[in-house]
Structure 1
Amino acid sequence: MPNLVNLENVAISFGGPKPVLDGVSLGIDSFDRVGVVGRNGGGKSTLISILAGLQLPDEGRVSPVRGLRMAAVTQQSQPKGATVRASVLGGEVPDHEWAADARSRTVIEGLRPGGGRGLDASVEGLSGGERQRIALAAALVQDLDLLVLDEPTNHLDVEGVRWLAAHLLARRTAVVVVTHDRWFLDTVASRTWEVVDGKVEQFEGGYNDWIYARAERTRLADAAEQRRQNLARKELAWLRRGPPARTSKPKYRIEAAEALIADVPEPRNSVELVTMARHRLGRTVIELEDATLTVPSDPPRTIVDRQTWRIGPGDRIGIVGINGSGKTTLLRAIAGERALDDGKRVQGTTVRLAHLSQDLSDLPLHRRVLQAVEDVAERVFIGGREHTASALAERFGFTAAQQWTPVSDLSGGERRRLQLVRLLMTEPNVLMLDEPTNDLDVDTLQQLEDILDGWAGTLVVVSHDRYLTERVCDRVVALFGDGIITDLPGGIEEYLRRRDQQVDVSATATVASSSAPNTSAEVDRRAARKEIGRIERRIEKLDTREKQLHTLLADAANDRARLMELDAELRALISEREGLEEAWLEASVD
């Protein structure tokens, strides 16, 4: 099949000294899954906006195939309806109609647009994150050839990110996605585009493949520079001594990609860092004793119920849970910014705590970047090394010239980076990070992780970014809604398994005791729920098999006997699914 969209010599500039994109030519094939990476402000969002036809280039041509069915969800996408239902489904579609469509049913159950408010909730008053999920759901319910997404994981929890990855893998739809979520990128992408210096470098595979390829590219560039220097030295020697004796040329061998990291040590020495942390912090860091924490609602919701939890020197803890489970509230309570409803919080006398919140209002907008950093401190020791304010700012992507940019002129991602630099300049020994990956590019995340690798302190992280949590944390705890802070020795994999079990138990919840009224009605409802679950699982299997059959039919175009066999199976499958959908509706009505 022809490419779905072609870009030919595309260029665009916004008045800066360099074009954002310069002579970019590329194409999207049917069923491609492309991850787009690059520095904040490097042109990722501009590239996909041009690709989706939302923005015109200054030069070059964008050529979509005729009849292309495409949807784009950008960070500016807004719901297009008064209610969640109208925004997602394109109108006030009744439940029995959208539930009969496998794709709509899967998307609505997977993304839960509107959250606990349901489909009939008004869009007015919803948060930006909730609106983004509605816009994403509205795109995913459509039958598309190409789906263009800009940071779709920003407002999803760990479960939501996993669901979206599985959904995109199961669809026969081309996908182009800008994302900083490295687990998501590595799971979904079959190709990676890196936007750098106005160009787009193309790589096969996802995040891991891109990192290997970039490391190999750096190695080859270093080798080329070394060869150039060697040639210069040889030329000087020849001028001084005359032509050297003829010798055979040495043979060079490019090692396998693993050789690039063969002599690289582990990211951190946990034992050594804990020992250093004890010297800096002592035995007591932060402790919650018989703590209860609630949030106002009707009725009030308990996040933590009479829990005793001790955070020690050198602990590296990740907190996970679904959106709304109370992770940020718990983090604020640990930091002492939110009072407990009951119990006691104890903080060690040597603790110097820094908290990276999701609020950017603490930045001095009237100052320049370097001034804003030096207002905190001019020098800092991190990982046993001294860093000047300018050097640390440069490490987080602020070049010498950019350090004189007014803070008020920075983008959201740049302000987030500045917030991190200022936080680290306080030289804390206890660090609380609330969704630190929001608005940060991959290179900045790598710099943050590199600094944390040698950081001798206590770390507590709330993040939906699975890669970051697994990379910097040695321990994971979860909030499952039962008032308990649950330790997960198996990390995020264990969390996802337990959540799956929790959802299954909820779907087939045990009925009230035999002494309760309306027991027979409860039993009937439980049986109906189990039947609905069984039907939905069977429909999902049929949907998967239908996709396989369409592929097999295309491959068997010249084999008449095989075509008839596959066609018969497809007809039987469609008939069975129609019967199941009718049964699902009957069970739902009952």
Structure 2
Amino acid sequence: MALISLKSLGVTMSAPLFSNLDLTIGAGDRLGLVAANGRGKSTLLKCLAGELEPTSGDITRSRGLRVGHVEQSVPEALLDRGFHHVVADALPAEQRDSELWRVDVVLDSLDVPEEMRNRPLCALSGGWQRLALIARVWVTDPDVLMLDEPTNHLDLARISQLETWLNALPREVPVVIASHDRAFLDAVTNRTLFLRPDDSPVFALPYSRARQALDEVDASMERKFQRDIKVAQQLRRQAAKLNNIGINSGSDLLTVKTKQLKERAEKLEDAAVPAHRERSAGAIRLANRGTHAKVLITLEDAAVETPDGTLLFRTGKRHICQDDRIVLLGRNGVGKTRFIAMIRNAIAEPGSVASVKVTPSTVLGYGDQAPSGTGGDDTPLAMVSRRFEVGEQRARSLLAGAGVVIEMRDRKIGALSGGQKARLMMLVLRLANPNFYLLDEPTNHLDIDGQEALEGDLLKHQASCLLASHDRSFIRAVGNRFWLIEKRRLVEVDDPQAFFRSVAETTS
């Protein structure tokens, strides 16, 4: 039975986000919403939750339906409250005292440690804040659960834990998930909606299989479009020939035939529908200036330590060479970010880290989870113009290509969306023209289109890089070497699958 039904639903902002959307959501559905950044996923979730009125069409909900909507950001009013209090406060006031036990049940199901339950959200990582929002909604016992980018800020262990938790939910409660995490969508969904401005196809398949089906549909539509246009052109050529003959011969029959051919051509042209072309949110392009050196960085059993000198791990004797795309694997807290910082410092100040030898021709491109080296009052336009000494007009053109819209170029970088910040970071990397990339969670906030473009550019340019990521699809696509941090040692492994399995097994 359908709990939510959409009929000809549409939302238009400055342009149509989606239109003529027909969809039903019922028991057993695990629906993934897929679209580029800013193309309507969050908007559709708000419509489903009754928080936003659509521009056109109708939404029908079952009588008394309780919709639980987990948004992307933590409301500022919750940041100073404790984890347990944030969840308990979601219960109706008249039930709070008698139903408080439900809070502990939900927190136990999400494996929230006892010592964390009284800490204020502002003292917790982004990942734990996300879980607090999920717990806050789930404790209200919703009939439908909707999650907006639930894996943002989660490490692999927490993503695996969330997958297990979602797959254990009662099947009668449908779940709708907007996400750019391809592996996550494959693990937890059984339907996929590709949100588009005109026609939004839905498949009864998880993401990867649905994407293959979508590509086949798009390819078939494009072939039909090309055939129809070709036939229409042939009909017009035939009509032109008959028209000339008819004029010369004075034949009324040929005149009628010419008109019929033209009408057939017009009908074909009017009915021909080109395949969908995703409107790019901004191009992801990297550069690789190259180097003659085979070895870029040599690690002489470097010690990676905490700020107070506690040993996290030792690297052993290792080399980073041209064409290496090394992925750092390891659980949270083992020292991946500290290691990346050490490599960055060694390149920035040669000789500053005795156990890290950097080839002089190495030029660094560093990307973290937000554009680095920008002041609080910096704007994208000012930052690009100053850092790369390009004129204002050239800077505006570069930002447009990166997907930073006109009205955002003179605002503070902090006002940009996560996706715009990520694409700005990629622009900064390209303009630096490096031959070695050091990337810490580069796909955070990138949509699937952006992730695939980044993957393609790293492979196309045979870019040398060392990266840390929680994105399993990205890791599989890009990595050709894998360094695992465990038991205070850095070891090389053949592939990441055993590590992924070990994380999943310990969280299940």
- TM-score, normalised by the number of residues in structure 2: 0.76
* Distance 1:396-1:487 versus aligned 2 partners, 3 A rule: same
Choose the corresponding residue for 2:297, options 286, 293, 300: 286
* Distance 1:207-1:397 versus aligned 2 partners, 3 A rule: farther
Query: What is the 5 A alignment of 1:125-524?
Result: 125-140=123-138, 143-171=141-169, 172=171, 173-197=173-197, 200-239=200-239, 280-296=291-307, 301-305=310-314, 307-336=316-345, 343-360=354-371, 362=373, 372=384, 376=388, 402=405, 406=409, 408=411, 410-480=416-486, 482-491=487-496, 493-499=497-503
Alignment partner, residue 268 of structure 2:
none
CA RMSD, Structure 1 to Structure 2 (Å): 3.8
Deviates more, 1:307-316 or 1:333-342: 333-342
Cα distance in 2 for partners of 1:410, 1:100 equals 37
The offset of 1:475, in angstroms, is 2.0
| Partner-residue secondary structure (3-state), 1:359 | coil
Query: What is the 5 A alignment of 1:77-116?
Result: 77-78=74-75, 79=78, 82-89=81-88, 101=105, 104-107=107-110, 109=111, 112=112
The offset of 1:301, in angstroms, is 4.3
* Distance 1:51-1:214 versus aligned 2 partners, 3 A rule: same
* Distance 1:97-1:231 versus aligned 2 partners, 3 A rule: closer
* Distance 1:199-1:225 versus aligned 2 partners, 3 A rule: closer
Cα distance in 2 for partners of 1:280, 1:389 equals 27
Alignment partner, residue 23 of structure 2:
26
Cα distance in 2 for partners of 1:73, 1:465 equals 21
| Partner-residue secondary structure (3-state), 1:351 | coil
Higher relative contact order (Cα pairs below 8 Å, separated by 6+ residues): 2
* Distance 1:331-1:45 versus aligned 2 partners, 3 A rule: same
Letter of the 2:39 counterpart = G
Letter of the 1:478 counterpart = L
Work out whether residues 374 and 389 of structure 1, in 8 Å CA contact, stay in contact via their aligned partners in 2: no
Letter of the 1:336 counterpart = N
Cα distance in 1 for partners of 2:441, 2:119 equals 27
Superimposed CA distance per residue, residues 524-549 of structure 1 (whole angstroms, 9 cap, x where no aligned partner): xxxxxxxxxxxxx9xxxxxxxxxxxx
Alignment partner, residue 120 of structure 2:
122
| Partner-residue secondary structure (3-state), 1:280 | coil
Query: What is the 5 A alignment of 1:560-571?
Result: none
* Distance 1:422-1:149 versus aligned 2 partners, 3 A rule: same
Work out whether residues 88 and 103 of structure 2, in 8 Å CA contact, stay in contact via their aligned partners in 1: no
Alignment partner, residue 545 of structure 1:
none
* Distance 1:324-1:52 versus aligned 2 partners, 3 A rule: farther
Work out whether residues 368 and 403 of structure 1, in 8 Å CA contact, stay in contact via their aligned partners in 2: no
Cα distance in 2 for partners of 1:128, 1:98 equals 24
* Distance 1:25-1:363 versus aligned 2 partners, 3 A rule: farther
| Partner-residue secondary structure (3-state), 2:370 | coil
* Distance 1:8-1:239 versus aligned 2 partners, 3 A rule: closer
Work out whether residues 294 and 341 of structure 1, in 8 Å CA contact, stay in contact via their aligned partners in 2: no
The offset of 1:367, in angstroms, is 6.3
The offset of 1:438, in angstroms, is 1.2
Cα distance in 2 for partners of 1:100, 1:207 equals 33
Letter of the 1:228 counterpart = D
Choose the corresponding residue for 2:61, options 64, 79, 104: 64
Cα distance in 2 for partners of 1:488, 1:241 equals 70
Letter of the 1:19 counterpart = P
Cα distance in 2 for partners of 1:457, 1:194 equals 31
Cα distance in 1 for partners of 2:139, 2:485 equals 30
Letter of the 2:492 counterpart = D
| Partner-residue secondary structure (3-state), 1:428 | coil
The offset of 1:191, in angstroms, is 1.1
The offset of 1:211, in angstroms, is 1.9
Cα distance in 2 for partners of 1:27, 1:69 equals 16
Cα distance in 1 for partners of 2:74, 2:380 equals 31
Work out whether residues 84 and 119 of structure 1, in 8 Å CA contact, stay in contact via their aligned partners in 2: yes
Cα distance in 1 for partners of 2:65, 2:79 equals 21
Work out whether residues 84 and 123 of structure 1, in 8 Å CA contact, stay in contact via their aligned partners in 2: yes
* Distance 1:392-1:444 versus aligned 2 partners, 3 A rule: farther
The offset of 1:304, in angstroms, is 2.3
Q: Which runs of 5+ in 2 are unaligned?
A: 243-253, 258-287
Cα distance in 2 for partners of 1:239, 1:58 equals 44
* Distance 1:335-1:203 versus aligned 2 partners, 3 A rule: same
Work out whether residues 329 and 482 of structure 2, in 8 Å CA contact, stay in contact via their aligned partners in 1: yes
| Partner-residue secondary structure (3-state), 1:20 | strand
Work out whether residues 161 and 184 of structure 1, in 8 Å CA contact, stay in contact via their aligned partners in 2: yes
Letter of the 2:478 counterpart = V
* Distance 1:98-1:49 versus aligned 2 partners, 3 A rule: closer
Superimposed CA distance per residue, residues 347-403 of structure 1 (whole angstroms, 9 cap, x where no aligned partner): 11211110111233546987676994897498xxxxxxxxx99998777557xxx47
Cα distance in 1 for partners of 2:384, 2:80 equals 42
The offset of 1:60, in angstroms, is 4.0
Aligned length: 446
* Distance 1:336-1:234 versus aligned 2 partners, 3 A rule: same
* Distance 1:129-1:497 versus aligned 2 partners, 3 A rule: closer
* Distance 1:407-1:195 versus aligned 2 partners, 3 A rule: farther
Cα distance in 2 for partners of 1:303, 1:140 equals 37
Cα distance in 2 for partners of 1:182, 1:373 equals 35
* Distance 1:128-1:498 versus aligned 2 partners, 3 A rule: closer
The offset of 1:196, in angstroms, is 1.9
Cα distance in 2 for partners of 1:8, 1:234 equals 39
* Distance 1:182-1:119 versus aligned 2 partners, 3 A rule: same
Give me the identity figure in percent: 27
* Distance 1:496-1:20 versus aligned 2 partners, 3 A rule: closer
Cα distance in 1 for partners of 2:196, 2:122 equals 39
Letter of the 2:44 counterpart = L
* Distance 1:84-1:206 versus aligned 2 partners, 3 A rule: same
